[in-house]
Structure 1
Amino acid sequence: MKYSQFISPVCIFLFTLSPVILSQQPYIKRATTLCDSKNNSTSVLGYTCNGLNHTCQAYLTFRAKTPFNSVSSISTLLAVNSSHLSQINSVPENAIFETNQMVLVPVTCSCSGQYYQANTSYIVQHSDTHLLIANNTFQGLSTCQAIRAQNKIHTKNLYSGTRITVPLRCACATKNQSDDGVNYLLSYLVTWGQYVQRISSIFGVDTGRTLAANSLSEQDSNIYPFTTLLVPLRNPPSSFQVTAPQPPPPRTSGPPQSGGSSRKLIPVFVGALGGGFLALIIGGIVLCVYLGKKGQKPKPVLTTESSESVEKQIVKEENEDSLEFLESISSISQYLKDLFIAQRSMDFAAIKKKNGDVLKEINLLTKINHFNLIRLSGVCFNEGNWYLVYEYASNGSLSHWIQEKSDQKILNWDQRLQIAVDVATGLTYLHCYTSPPHIHKDLNSSNVLLDRDFRAKISNVGLARTAEGQEGLFTLTRHIVGTKGYMAPEYLANGLVSPKLDVYAFGILVLEILTGKEVSLLNEEVDMQVSEVLASDFHEEDGQVYVGKLMDPSLHGNYPEELALLLFKLIGNCLKKDPSDRPNIDDIFQSLSRILTTTRSDCVG
């Protein structure tokens, strides 16, 4: 017993030291946005120089994106040999990568003081901040803390034209890892909807080894976008590993990340379309027969303005009446009975009553399926009218929350930002991942509906039109339709329609979300203040004064001023007069996602 009492503390002591002996690097978690922090407990300043060698061959990943989407541009940005980059990715030196294609980057990783890094230089652009350079330009291969520490900049702001050094996150294998057969460490850029097991499988690595390399465990294995995950490798990574088809991210995490053609998605959507169309037929039969038997129209509960239709709600009748009616219809199979019974728990559905030819609209709605687009769940034709059955958004339209604020109807900062991200996600799906691409044409706050969790869903998608012609741009000589205040100048003046039409409307929509004013109330004074914000040279002290004047007073200052300023900058880009100067919706989605991640990281911190 005495021996046990003596040995036990020693065993505990050795167990406590085991992570140090294994030289695991701590995963950065959500610390990337705490730009004033100098605490390296989560490796924000870099991976600790604790490997077997002070200099080694290491690898990074980078996702191609304009303007860094070629061998030469990525090589220049990351200060690597273009020949080596082309060889490891099995492409010629003049190759252009597809958007979001994963690119392998070989680097020489060296100790610089206490931390490993591979250095590159960067010239500060207008509106850059430490955080934007780290998370936007370099996608998380560096951190705002490391950039500040490396350059010892004494001013809060960065100024255009300044050349800075950017330390890229890399590491060398430790003695223990080397003894275990690990020869290289790869700094993998984590994106939305990913997890350690899937990343490990891409490179044929045991999940436990990847967890250990990052001081993670099965109980603590959460990883986040815009961070790096160290993957221990026996052999150099290959282009086949990063170009092999990857499963799509969860539906709620955003649009597909693959930069390939929409045709690659066809096998996935064929099954979804078949099942979805069958559900429409079944749902339509049940609804039509039910309405015919009852001899009554759906009871109107909620109405929104529309030039062609009226939105209504239908409340399920008493269970006894429904089942009695169902039993009396001998032509309906037992399968339909079971389906109807299974859906008894659904209390509400959104009904759109329409006249005329709706087959084109139905055809489109049966081909699209995304969390941020209102779903068509049934179709009925009764007494000369079409009834389109949609999913029900219990919190109504965004315009309702903007126009009728009360103590119980105030959206907080996080909700507003999530709504903006959701709308951008839905538009990205329409613009980039439907075949052919589609333009909504009438995006406004009345066409953005909120579910019970205040997640946004775009409605009236069935009226969208395809992006035809050269680069999705063509001329309409007549039939200019839309909502006043949201229509882009080139559309009003010349009838030009392109995806940038939705981008302009999105800018107005986000302006409404931030100011709490509907578009009709954004008067000349507000317009002038917005112009001042957009014209500012991103000096936070001045910009934040303007932001304070513009933001919805009901927020009571409960928002991060620097991030709000970034949003107004984004709005300014969306509202450029020349449509070619406006960003693509995919770029907008990426920027908003980073801002949302920053907001939630700050809340956790």
Structure 2
Amino acid sequence: MSSSVSSSLFCVFTLFFICSCYLIGAQQPYVGKTTSDCGNQHNSSSGLGYFCNGGNRSCQTYVTFRAIPKYNTVSAISTLLGADPSQVSLINSVPETTTFDTNKLVIVPVNCSCSGEFYQSNTSYVVNEGDQYSLIANELFQGLATCQAIMNQPGNPIPTGLIPGQRISVPLRCACPTKNQSDSVVNYLISYLIGKGESPQPISQRFEIDEDLLRRANSLSQQDIIFPNTTLLVPLDKPPSSSQTVEPPTPPPSPPVTPPTTTSPSKSSKKTWVYALIGALGGTAFLLVLGAIIYCRVFRKSKKKLEPALLPKSFEANEKAVDKKIEESQDFLDSLSDIAQSIKVYKFEELQLATNYFSNSNLVKGSVYKGTIKGDFAAIKKVDGDISKEINVMQKINHSNLIRLSGICFNEGFWYLVYEYAANGPLSSWIHHKRKDGMFLNWTQRIQIALDVAAGLNYLHNFATSSHVHKDVKSSNILLDSDFRAKIANFGLTRSTQGHDGQYSLTKHVVGTIGYMAPEYLENGVVSTKLDVYAFGVLLLEMLTGKAVSVLYEENKHLSDLLSAVINDEEQVGLKNFMDPSMEEKYPSEFVIFVVRIIEGCLKKNPDARAPMDEIVQLLSRTLSNSLNWELSNSSVE
């Protein structure tokens, strides 16, 4: 009896000891991809900052920053992050006059202290034209701050109230060690900016710490994935050094494993060898049979499903196209393990339950269904065709004005894409049709939507992993969320601009929507970011007039003539006929003329003469700011 009790006490003590060891390292929840969801605070995932649960309410610590143009010197980085230039130069072992190479990892000493429930290191930033909280947090500060945390700072304006020249507070993500961590000789928690393609293992190797210690400090399991432009807390016993900012060399390939040499086998070893051979052959035969069954039951079905659409009896050539399509789907299925790193792979039964078995009552439009997954709405699109290019693009982009792909499924020859749900549907339904509910978009809402689209395109052109062209910007591909904020959708035609100097490329396969396609693309197949600029100009014209692009071309041989007539109409007699009649409220005519001039710049025949998207973002930001001020002054007068 006493032995049994002693054994039980030993097990309990052991379990307690293991849990205590875990708690020594446990500190903060990892923020994950919630950084792009600016509309929600995500307190439980440290969206507002690391929790103030350390042994001290303030401490000296460090953050990392990757040098980018304009912020690539000791002085500029120090100013941006509110640090002492002399300390930055000292910790990085460089002179204060140093200019870092782009993407060079820089260590920055900061003072971290509790502000309410969260730790933060305080700095400030002067707003430029075109800035939004998501751009400031995720691109300028690279994830050292979140848009949720910036918006939560006392005194900072609401998202639509950012005015160029205005100074805002920016809380940098930092933390101090817990008492348990300090007791286990963790003296610093470094806010490390995760780079593209990084995982916990190489990060722990960079700082020469145990990977489990790194994971425990961030409450990460072995299955959790980390993402670029987010932070990990790196627990260290001493300050970081400049040697840890050097990118580690690519590890050499593992040498081939050579079988061990054997001496003369005995009878028993011969039998063991025979048993192993039989087992290997049996296992191989089992896998072949299993593979044949899977092929017959899944991919034969998918072929049958595809044949009615792709195999007209008079065209035998189409049979090859079907076989190729199935092979491509097979190849893509084989790569789902890579996709699953950032996109959830759903079972078909899950999507059936989410959409009430794809009932008509859940059908939104075409092949898009509204679903409910874990209490949240989702848009589920059924696709018959190759989607690998779209998936590859959507894995590389992350911006609040681009629709987010959260999941994928393949079943009987069809793909199912799970997107975030945009409650107010496509922009086209708000500007081309008289709505039964009598609602309409007012002037300020339209300018905000235009700015959102421009910001999304600017991200694709200038801030994505490589410059991309959407190639299908149109009103039906712009979705509006519950706050009437715009999200660009449908990336099926999106492609990289890898070509001459990375600026443009050529294609013989011209696809897109008539009316939105730029002349150089239609005539010569030239693909560049200026395609999106041209299409954006047409979209902006639709938003002002309320007319579909087909109607605009029916009424005007050249859209430029329509714009010139408005700009040159000194008495603005034709302005009322030009504008969407659903906007019955008054709006300053000079605002309209300013936007018409932006459209005129977008529709230049020479692509080089068209304004770049970053410039358009600045112009629309100025227009939105002026419009909001005008609205405010009008409401105060009333």
- TM-score bin (small chain): 0.3 to 0.5
Instruction: Report the structure number with the largest CA radius of gyration.
Output: 2
Q: TM-score, normalised by structure 1?
A: 0.48
